[in-house]
Amino acid sequence: MHFVNIRDFRLNASSILHESGEDPAVVTYRGKPVALLVSIDEVQLEPMLQAVRAARLRGAVDTLRGAARKAGADKLSAALVAEEIRSYRKSKRA
């Protein structure tokens, strides 16, 4: 894996894509990663998109679980959670 800043990518996208081959390239902006370039073919497109979506979902769930743990909400019973949901829905109808 190699890193390329966004300016270099913008100016040399074609050569960077050809050079990366099987090795992913990380595009950075001000030193922070903003994109990951991986080579794929038409057959790999859908499975790769599904894998990316699944990884993003796992990351979002992990973030929410961490926030729940930090707030102490991970210790709530299922009944209490269901009651909270009913209460919220009732307030939205009013």
Q: What is the mean pLDDT of residues 25-52?
A: 93
Query: How far, in Å, CA of 36 to CA of 71, rounded?
Result: 33
**Which ranges of the chain would DSSP assign to H, the alpha helix?**
6-20, 45-71, 78-93
Residue from 36, 45, 31 nearest 1 by CA:
36
Binned at pLDDT 50, 70 and 90, residue 10 comes out as very high
Asked if pLDDT for residue 28 goes beyond 80, the answer is: yes
Query: How far, in Å, CA of 39 to CA of 85, rounded?
Result: 44
At the fourth CATH level, which superfamily is domain 1-39?
YefM-like domain (3.40.1620.10)
Q: What is the mean pLDDT of residues 33-55?
A: 92
Asked if pLDDT for residue 93 goes beyond 80, the answer is: yes
Asked if pLDDT for residue 91 goes beyond 90, the answer is: yes
- Within 10 A of 25 (CB to CB), how many other CB atoms are there? 20
pLDDT on residue 94:
73
